[in-house]
Structure 1
Amino acid sequence: MPKAKSSHSDVRTGNTAASAESLADAARAASGSGKGPPLEAWDPPFCGDLDMEIRRDGTWFYEGTPIGRKALVKLFSTILWREGDAYFLKSPVEKVGIRVEDAPFVAEDAEIEGDGAEQMIRFATQVGDAVTAGPDHPIRVVRDAATGEPSPYVLIRRNLEALVDRKTFYRLVDAGTREEVEGTLWFGLRSGGTFFPIIPASELPDG
């Protein structure tokens, strides 16, 4: 696991110090309950920023080096916390800021079950989360203003989303359908009894 290489690897505010190692230890202790860390119940002080980043492809970096151990990445993901556009790793006694290039997770696969109104889309992320899109796990699509290129996201837990990777999204498009939303015909995806619009049907090549 990443080690605090020296004092500069810690983040400090007053007498409080946090490191990747201490946060991993806290995550291990909390995960021992089998229910996952109760992040909502923790209100620790902010201890500064840690040199950790999640890239758009879902790779986690610590001090500029990719974290190669998947088990450690998954552990850190359990204590990931978001406030507005800011991301943190949180334990009962410390909260540190980290950088997230886009979304903290990547949905790298999806399974489609059923069809029509009964269709269900189950997403799997790079850290082992699995959710079925629906009212509690909505899909949204952001389109680049200049190119129109879509970036699809699915809500995983709390307010943390996964970017749906390109290969998975293109496969899902084959399961898309057209439905009217507030008087406009949209092309989108249906899952969990909910229709998620992607693009106005009039903008599709076949109209």
Structure 2
Amino acid sequence: MSNIELKGFSEATSSVLPPVHTWTPPFCGDMDMVIKANGDWCHEGSKIKRPAMVTMFSRILWFEHGEYFLMTPVEKVRIKVDDAPFHVNRWQWIETVCGRAIEFRTQTEDVLVLGVDCDIWMGFYHEEERPYISMRYGMKALVGRNVFYGLAESLAEVETSQGRGVGVISAGKSYLLMQDA
């Protein structure tokens, strides 16, 4: 088991995205950390209860070849992710230069605009169909049930390259969520 060295990182800077994509540290082993399917971040079997600590770790999360890592400029440790490392827990309509758009917020205070910063799709986790949005570095966020039910009020008929059906339109872009039979 490995523990990651966090010198130079503090909770005060947890809202800033470090340039993880520019770092090439050596792999240092596995860390006993799991991001559970319900969004809980656990270390050595115990839930991390400080949201600022979870947010800090989320800023150095990296996805590569189907695996997740925490990275600093000097080391890279593998962690386990059951489903999606991020969870969308809030949303609202906003006005953008591309028109009316849906703004999502994750539990780690990431802010993404559907059609600008991210896309939405339906995927599966253990045979359960769930909504996801795209995140940085090829990662994804699970759209919380409360958020998805809120979006249901904004469903419209859409046509995309995947077909016709019901979905949402955000920033001028259509997303098919349920295809016509």
**Equivalence for 1:137:** 118
Distance 2:132 2:151 in 1: 13
Aligned-pair Cα RMSD in Å: 2.5
In structure 2, the CA distance between the partners of 1:137 and 1:94, relative to structure 1 (3 Å rule), is: same
RCO higher in 1 or 2 (8 Å CA, sep ≥ 6)?
2
Give the one of 50, 57, 60 matched to 1:79. Answer: 60
In structure 2, the CA distance between the partners of 1:182 and 1:73, relative to structure 1 (3 Å rule), is: closer
Deviation of the 1:26 alpha carbon: 4.2
Distance 2:55 2:163 in 1: 41
Q: How many residues align?
A: 179
Give the one of 169, 173, 178 matched to 1:190. Answer: 169
**Equivalence for 1:159:** 138
Distance 1:105 1:99 in 2: 13
Deviation of the 1:183 alpha carbon: 8.4
Residue 100 (structure 1) aligned with residue 81 (structure 2): yes
More strand by share: 2
Q: Name which one, 1 or 2, has greater alpha-carbon Rg.
A: 1
In structure 2, the CA distance between the partners of 1:174 and 1:126, relative to structure 1 (3 Å rule), is: same
Unpaired stretches in structure 1, ≥5 consecutive residues: 1-9, 12-18, 203-207
Partner SS for 1:158: helix
Amino acid in structure 2 at the alignment position of 1:161: K
More helix by share: 1
Distance 1:145 1:181 in 2: 27
Deviation of the 1:83 alpha carbon: 0.4
Give the one of 33, 36, 45 matched to 2:26. Answer: 45
Tell me the TM-score normalised to structure 2 length.
0.88
Q: Say whether the 8 Å CA contact 1:27–1:91 is kept in structure 2.
A: no
Unpaired stretches in structure 2, ≥5 consecutive residues: none
Amino acid in structure 1 at the alignment position of 2:101: M
Give the one of 93, 109, 114 matched to 2:90. Answer: 109
In structure 2, the CA distance between the partners of 1:192 and 1:156, relative to structure 1 (3 Å rule), is: same
% same residue:
36
